[in-house]
Amino acid sequence: MLVGIVGKPNCGKSTLFKSITLANILIANYPFATIDPNKGFGHVSVPCADKDFNVQCNPRVGFCKDHVRFVPVEVIDVAGLVPGAHEGKGLGNKFLDDLNHADALIHVVDASGTTNERGEPIEGGHDPLKDVEFLEDEINQWMKGILMKAWERAARAAQQTHLEPFKLIAKQMGAFDVTEDLAKELLKKLNFGPEITKWTDDEIMTLIKTIRQTTKPIIIAANKMDLPGADVNLARLKEAYPGYAIIPISAESELALREAANKSLVSYKPGDDTFEIIGALSDAQKKGLEYIKSHVVEKYKGTGVQVLLNTAVFEMLKYMAIFPGGVNKLADSNGNVLPDCFLLRQGSTALDFAASIHTDLAQGFIRAIDVRTKKTLGKEHVLKNCDVVEIISSK
C-alpha cells in the first residue's frame, strides 16, 4: 500500500511528509533505507493487542507506545502540481507518473488561503475551494490522456475484432491496476452503448472520474489550521464538499512536536490530543509550543496528522489490523512478543490472512483460532480489526 501526498506548491506537502515519516527511527527499527528521498514510512495507529494479554509487545517494524501500536505504511511526497501539469506545465508528467503507484491520495490544501494556485504568497487571500477542483481536474485530465492514447485506432480495432469494451478499458488503463473485473463492474454501472467508437467525450470523462474515484480515492488535509482564517475556510470546505473526508491539520505543529518529543523536550506521541513540556526550553521554544497548544492541539484535539493517516487507511481504503499470535504463546522463537501486525482489507477471511503470511499456510489450512476467545474459526470466517489469530496448518 502506498499513500501519495499531493497538492499545489507550498501547501505543506513536504512538511507533512517529514512529520509523518519522522518517527523516531531507532524505535521504528527499519533495517533498510529508502533510496528515493521522497518515499518513506509513516505509521497508522491501532490499540495494541498486547494490553489485553497484559504483556508488552516487541514490534519487528514500527513501534508501540503506551499500548498504541504504530504500523508502517509507505508514503510518497509528490512534487507540486500546478494548473496545466497534465500538459507538461511546471514539473508536469514525471510527477503525475509518481502518482501511478499510489493507492490513495492525501490532497493537502492550504486552508489559510495565503497562497495562490501556484503557491505564491497572495495579498487579500485565495479561495482554497478552488484548489480542490483544480487538483481533481488535473488528475482526471491526465488519466484521460492515458486512456485516449491511440484511442480511435484501439476503439476501431476492438469493434472489428469484437473485443468487449471492458477488455479494452482494462488494457488501456492497466497502469492504474484497472483489472478486467473492475472495468466490467464500472461499465455495467455506467451503461454506455455497445459501440465504443460512439462513446461521447462526456461519457469518457464520466468513466475516467469513476476509475479515478475507485483507484485513487482522495482525502483532503486542510492544512495550516494554526493560521488565522483557516477555521472559516475549513467550514466552507466541509459545506462545499459534503461527500469528502476533510481533516483539519497543522503539519508544522506535528513536525515541531515530533522533533521536540525525540529530544525528550515534550511527552507526546502521534495522535495525542495533548502534550506536556518535560525538558528545559528556551523562552522562544516555550512560546512556540504554547501557541501550538492553544491554537491547534486544544482547539482540534490534536494536530490532525495521525487522524488523517488513520482515516485514509482504515476508513477510505478500508483496511484493518490483524495480529498473528498463538494460544499457547504470543512470542516468536526469538522471544519477541506479538512481533507482527498486518494490514488487511476489511472483509478478509481467516484463509486470506493465512495467505498473506505465507502461501503454504493457506494451502495446508486446517483451522484458525481467535487467540482472545480461543474459539475455532473456519476458512471463511471474516476477521475484525485488532483480532489476534493463530493459523493451524498442515504445511
Cα distances (Å, whole numbers) of residue 292 to 16, 44, 90, 163, 360: 16, 23, 34, 59, 51
C-beta closer to ligand GDP: residue 15 or 116: 15
User: Shortest Cβ distance from residue 256 to ligand GDP (Å)?
Assistant: 9
Q: Which residue is nearest to Mg ion (CB)?
A: 14
C-beta closer to ligand GDP: residue 14 or 262: 14
Total residues binding Mg ion (CB under 5 A)? 2
User: Shortest Cβ distance from residue 119 to ligand GDP (Å)?
Assistant: 6
User: Shortest Cβ distance from residue 16 to ligand GDP (Å)?
Assistant: 7
C-beta closer to ligand GDP: residue 69 or 224: 224
The entry of ligand GDP, Mg ion, none that residue 11 binds, CB within 5 to 8 Å by partner kind: ligand GDP
User: Shortest Cβ distance from residue 356 to ligand GDP (Å)?
Assistant: 34
C-beta closer to ligand GDP: residue 13 or 381: 13
The entry of Mg ion, ligand GDP, none that residue 138 binds, CB within 5 to 8 Å by partner kind: none
The entry of ligand GDP, Mg ion, none that residue 227 binds, CB within 5 to 8 Å by partner kind: ligand GDP
> Does position 14 bind Mg ion by CB under 5 A?
yes
Distance of alpha carbon 366 from alpha carbon 122, whole angstroms: 64
Residue 320 near residue 343 (C-beta atoms within 8 A): yes
User: Shortest Cβ distance from residue 92 to Mg ion (Å)?
Assistant: 15
Where does this chain bind ligand GDP (CB under 6 A)?
Answer: 7, 9-15, 80, 223-224, 226-227, 250-252
Residues 6+ apart with CB under 8 A from 142: 85, 86, 93, 96
User: Shortest Cβ distance from residue 13 to Mg ion (Å)?
Assistant: 5
Binding site for Mg ion (CB under 5 A): 13-14
